[in-house]
Amino acid sequence: MSLGHPPAEIAIDEVLVRGLLAEQFPEHASGSLELVGEGWDNVIYRLDRQFSIRLPRREVAAQLIHNEQRCLALLAPRLPLPVPVPIHAGRPATDYPWPWSICRWFEGERASASPPTDLHEAAETLAAFVNALHLPASDDAPVNTVRGGPLSARFERITKRILDVGAAGRLLGHDAADLVARYHEYSAAPEWHGPPVWLHGDLHASNMLTSNGRLSAVIDFGDITGGDPATDLAVAWIVLDEPARRHFCSLVDRDEATWVRAKAWALSFAVFYLDSVDTDSVMGLMGERTLAQVLAS
């Protein structure tokens, strides 16, 4: 029952992209185009070596692009790392039904493939980022049904996921029943009762870039929402080791219950990442590292 790689619902190629550019942003229509990759939700082209073009490949991702277009310009000025604020917000067209974006291109490598070389420094950078981001969200923040909410709403779903991934042999020899027990323990922490704060919603190493061994940008804000900061604070187990995590926690002023909930989120994310190992080896390795950090802490 692997997460797999969902099929595209529309074929996106250079002809389509150039047509969209010619119709909506003709100043870019003759620029160089390079296909960079095709993820679960979006196809990414590099334009003129300066910009990235993000086009949803599935209807479910169209709202995520819209969320970025609506929120990132508001949040970016206070964040200490670059984020992909849309420079141009593309519109649906006759042969393409969803919004799409042109953003600045960020040089660097995914931190999941090229981790930061100094995790103590990375902890400080991440702490500064989440402290700047995690301010009370506006009333019109995007609603996200899978991120930022109470763990009780995920309890049955995550329990089943752990058992299913274990049955498929993807838990690296770890006992599924033990992981379920740990998840139940962490999920029993008191819920968040503060105001919803702005969340990235998917803050992991493949959504960060490194340059010269340092964290240099945070990308892919499609899951942006307001809610419990514990969702994003799971990054402490995804990116950092134990000493760096302690330093990170000392710089992010949250109560013990929030850190326990963050650990529950980290465990659930680790299982998701492990379940994608057949289609994304880098994501699978990130799951292995995350699970090891959770179990060691």
Encode pLDDT of 161-197 as tens digits: 999 999 999 999 999 999 999 999 999 999 999 999 9
Give the model confidence (pLDDT) of 8-46 as tens digits.
Answer: 999 999 999 999 999 999 999 999 999 998 888 999 999
Alpha helices in the chain (DSSP H): 14-24, 59-75, 119-133, 155-167, 176-187, 230-233, 235-238, 242-251, 256-275, 281-296
Rg (CA), the chain: 19
Report pTM: 0.95
**How much is the average pLDDT of 70-97?**
97
Give the model confidence (pLDDT) of 202-231 as tens digits.
Answer: 999 999 999 999 999 999 999 999 999 999
Q: Angle 256-275/281-296 helices, nearest 10 degrees?
A: 150
Q: How sure is the predictor about 3, in pLDDT bands with cuts at 50, 70 and 90?
A: low
- Please tell me whether residue 34 adopts helix, strand or coil conformation: strand
Provide the pLDDT for residue 39.
83
pLDDT at residue 101 is higher than 90: yes
Q: How sure is the predictor about 1, in pLDDT bands with cuts at 50, 70 and 90?
A: very low
- Which domains are delineated in the chain? 14-104 (3.30.200.20), 109-296 (3.90.1200.10)
Q: How sure is the predictor about 277, in pLDDT bands with cuts at 50, 70 and 90?
A: confident
Provide the pLDDT for residue 36.
94
**How much is the average pLDDT of 52-71?**
96
**How much is the average pLDDT of 116-120?**
98
- Mean per-residue pLDDT of the chain: 95
Provide the pLDDT for residue 216.
98
DSSP structure string for 221-263: -TT-EEE-THHHHTHHHHT--HHHHHHHHHHS---HHHHHHHH
% of the chain exceeding 70 in pLDDT? 98
pLDDT at residue 4 is higher than 90: no
| Contacts for 209 with CB less than 8 Å, ≥ 6 apart | 106, 107, 108, 109, 110, 111, 215, 216, 217, 218, 219
Instruction: Say which residue, 279 or 252, is predicted with more confidence.
Output: 252
pLDDT at residue 276 is higher than 50: yes
Place of tokens 């923040």: 141
% of the chain exceeding 90 in pLDDT? 94
In what side-by-side order are the strands of the sheet with 86-90? 33-38, 42-47, 51-56, 100-104, 86-90
